[in-house]
Structure 1
Amino acid sequence: MQKRLSLSFGALSLIVLSTSARATPQQDHYGTWTLQGENDAVSTFKGTSDQYYTSGLRFNWTSGTDNLPRPIAHLNHFLMGDGVQRISLGLQQLIFTPRATQVERPPLGDRPYAGVMLGTVNLINDTDLSRTVMGFQAGVLGPAALGRQLQNGFHKAISDTPNKGWQHQLANQPIFQLQAGRIWRLPVAKVYGIEMDVLPAVSGSAGDYRTYASVASNFRIGQGLDSDFGNATIGPGLDGTDAYKATRPVAWYFYGGVDGQAVGYDATLQGSTVRGNSPHTEKKWDVGEIHAGVAVMWHGMRLSYSQNWQSTEFRGQKAGLFNYGSLKFSVKF
């Protein structure tokens, strides 16, 4: 199993690095600070209430261009070739719960309670038409990720009912992930100052948290589309896309897209790898998402919102698309 996963990740890396484009001369000397929040109850449509992927928080810093320490710059060039270089450092927490949150012991076959805390380090390499990301994540799955404390503490603060089954959450285990991905920015048309482009992407990761490969594509319409490489959610997908530099006083766009994932392993569904009797359910290998959103860049700030619909992740999950909202704010200084 591990050998097959390693080969799959190696093949993905070759795909990511196989295409090159002319490097852009545009420089960006300011770092980008990002705060992002996701929740199944915060949605432009009727949201859910604490089930499945119920909450995500992320804080991230992305450097300006070409100011990496020399050894890291050499590594970036060795891994990804010529281009404008950045490094990205982040911390994220994700919370997962079953559908039945008001029973002491979640029923068999439901998603286990799980908290995940991850630190992320990514190297980023930009050209005029592509962004390549390679890096790793390290952290913990289990009580040490503080999922129970954050969720029930917030419920207490707003006088809401706490979730009752956190004592059955997945046990502590260390996490280490390798990840890689590439986005291509392909202009389509410009009509009366309104631009359109397509952002195809491939990404994947391998480790003891979530091993998957993904193919995605987004269509955007707006102005200043060359200011960034699109928007991204906290969960699986291409990480490291926070960096931007507005190419006009106000840059903006609407977008919509799809993402298809082939999932080889998911510890939050299949249970702890260090305990054989861990709560678990049967994952599905094929997971899809639909995204729609808007982003605005103005005076060094970037605000974006996306609405996301996800297909079922495990056998027995209630039918229909699961939806959640994602709000992201970035500032440069």
Structure 2
Amino acid sequence: MRHTAVLLSALLFASGAHAAGREACTNGHTRLPPTVNLRLDNDLFGGQDQGYSNGIQLTLVSPNLADYTDDPCIPRLARWVNRHLDALQPEGFEQRNMIATFAQGIFTPTDYTRRDLIEDDRPYAAALLVGLGYNARNDDYLQTTQLQFGLVGPSALGKQVQNEVHKMLGDETFRGWDHQLHDEPVFRIVHERMHRYSAGDAHNGRWGWDAISHYGGSFGNLATYANAGAELRFGLRLPDDFGSTPLRPAGENTAPTQHYNTGNRRFGAHLFVTFDARWVLRDITLDGNTFRDSHSVDKRPLVADVGYGLAAMRGRWKFALARYHRTREFEGQRQTPVFGSFTVSRAF
């Protein structure tokens, strides 16, 4: 019942975010608009078609909030759900906001031509997720907690989405989807903490740099791991957020902002390099179904990502293009995964 409420709350959060933008929700004397982020991941950007094959995520970010249960800048149902999720909500912070996410991820083996079960390669899998998250900030410190529910299996529509995309691109479709993981409800709780270091007031100056460290983890039958890493940025008018990498919970311009100005149309751009290492206890896309027999592989416990890219901002818009290299995730994996990601963000 609670995961149904989270889903409905996230759906109403979407309409409420736009309404909040029209009503120009305020916190103190600063106009703080909601933000919408759309992220697209695909391994074709890395010259491959295997592993983490495709992903899409829509993130809806509230304005800065006075609190999570009474602020009119979030929909009424979201406020009701928040009263039942108070254990996830941070206290004692100067700034806070709320996010809702809708995501799908698709995972495939290397050989698309085979119809039989490829025992030494990763399982076919798709995940469809919805979630709510809570961000809280004090100056250059941010923490985020996200709760996600969804499905892994045929009901996540990975086969249908991938086939349609491949047909539109004129590519061959994968033929082994009959061996994908079975339907299974999944959940996870993600928590991460970040510190931002910069040389002076980098977001107001012209050229500057900053570094953002992070550590945290995830718990659930979808994924259980501990992670840590950092991001280094250099460029013109750095944004007042906690990273440009789109693969991590607070890396998509979701942080409560201190200096956002909707009337500022100056151009800004920066380069970024990011690193994240994970100690993985469970990954359902590699370990297989939790309660039923299914295809699985012997995953490696230590996995790392190295990414680099370019981000650009103009007025209410932000764009980020990145390329990621990942270490091998399971024993016998033929190629090290390489994939790209494109994120577009707009404040309303």
Same fold at TM > 0.5: yes
1:32 is the counterpart of 2:35:
yes
1:315 is the counterpart of 2:331:
yes
Structure 2 counterpart SS, 1:107: coil
Distance 1:278 1:78, change over 3 A: closer
Which residue number corresponds to residue 284 of structure 2?
Answer: 267
Q: State how many pairs are aligned.
A: 302
Which residue number corresponds to residue 229 of structure 1?
Answer: 242
d(CA) in 2 for partners of 1:25, 1:77? 25
Structure 1 counterpart SS, 2:146: strand
Q: How does 1:43-58 map to 2 (within 5 A)?
A: 43=46, 47-48=47-48, 50-58=49-57
- 1:307 CA drift (Å): 0.9
Structure 1 counterpart SS, 2:164: helix
- 1:80 CA drift (Å): 4.2
- 1:239 CA drift (Å): 4.2
The code of the aligned residue for 2:233 comes to R
Distance 1:287 1:26, change over 3 A: farther
Structure 1 counterpart SS, 2:116: coil
Which region of structure 1 is more displaced relative to structure 2, 237-246 or 217-226? Answer: 237-246
Which residue number corresponds to residue 298 of structure 2?
Answer: 282
Structure 2 counterpart SS, 1:225: coil
The code of the aligned residue for 1:309 comes to H
- 1:26 CA drift (Å): 8.9
The code of the aligned residue for 1:329 comes to V
1:94 is the counterpart of 2:105:
yes
* Identity between Structure 1 and Structure 2 (%): 27
Which residue number corresponds to residue 332 of structure 1?
Answer: 347
The code of the aligned residue for 2:62 comes to S
- 1:28 CA drift (Å): 5.0
- 1:182 CA drift (Å): 1.3
Which residue number corresponds to residue 267 of structure 2?
Answer: 250
- 1:225 CA drift (Å): 2.4
- 1:183 CA drift (Å): 1.5
- What do you get for the CA RMSD once the two structures are aligned? 2.4
d(CA) in 1 for partners of 2:30, 2:281? 39
Which region of structure 1 is more displaced relative to structure 2, 215-224 or 137-146? Answer: 215-224
Q: Deviations over 1:10-62 (max 9, x none)?
A: xxxxxxxxxxxxxx98955210011110000024xxx11x2010100011100
2:116 to 87, 91, 105: 105
CA contact (8 A) 2:145 2:190 kept: yes
Which region of structure 1 is more displaced relative to structure 2, 143-152 or 225-234? Answer: 225-234
Structure 2 counterpart SS, 1:41: helix
Structure 1 counterpart SS, 2:246: coil
TM-score, normalisation: structure 1: 0.84
Which residue number corresponds to residue 76 of structure 2?
Answer: none
- 1:300 CA drift (Å): 0.5
The code of the aligned residue for 2:152 comes to L
CA contact (8 A) 2:62 2:97 kept: yes
Structure 2 counterpart SS, 1:55: strand
Q: Deviations over 1:246-291 (max 9, x none)?
A: 566223211112111100101100100121x200001100001101
The code of the aligned residue for 1:260 comes to A
Which region of structure 1 is more displaced relative to structure 2, 62-71 or 128-137? Answer: 62-71
Structure 1 counterpart SS, 2:117: coil
Distance 1:77 1:102, change over 3 A: closer
TM-score, normalisation: structure 2: 0.81
CA contact (8 A) 1:80 1:132 kept: no
d(CA) in 1 for partners of 2:141, 2:271? 20
Structure 1 counterpart SS, 2:345: strand
Structure 2 counterpart SS, 1:65: coil
- 1:240 CA drift (Å): 6.2
Distance 1:144 1:302, change over 3 A: same
Which residue number corresponds to residue 20 of structure 1?
Answer: none
Q: Unpaired segments of 5 or more residues in structure 2?
A: 1-26, 71-78
Distance 1:204 1:294, change over 3 A: same
CA contact (8 A) 1:189 1:197 kept: no
CA contact (8 A) 2:37 2:252 kept: no
Distance 1:270 1:227, change over 3 A: same
Which residue number corresponds to residue 143 of structure 1?
Answer: 154
- 1:311 CA drift (Å): 0.3
- 1:227 CA drift (Å): 2.1
The code of the aligned residue for 1:323 comes to V
1:217 to 193, 208, 230: 230
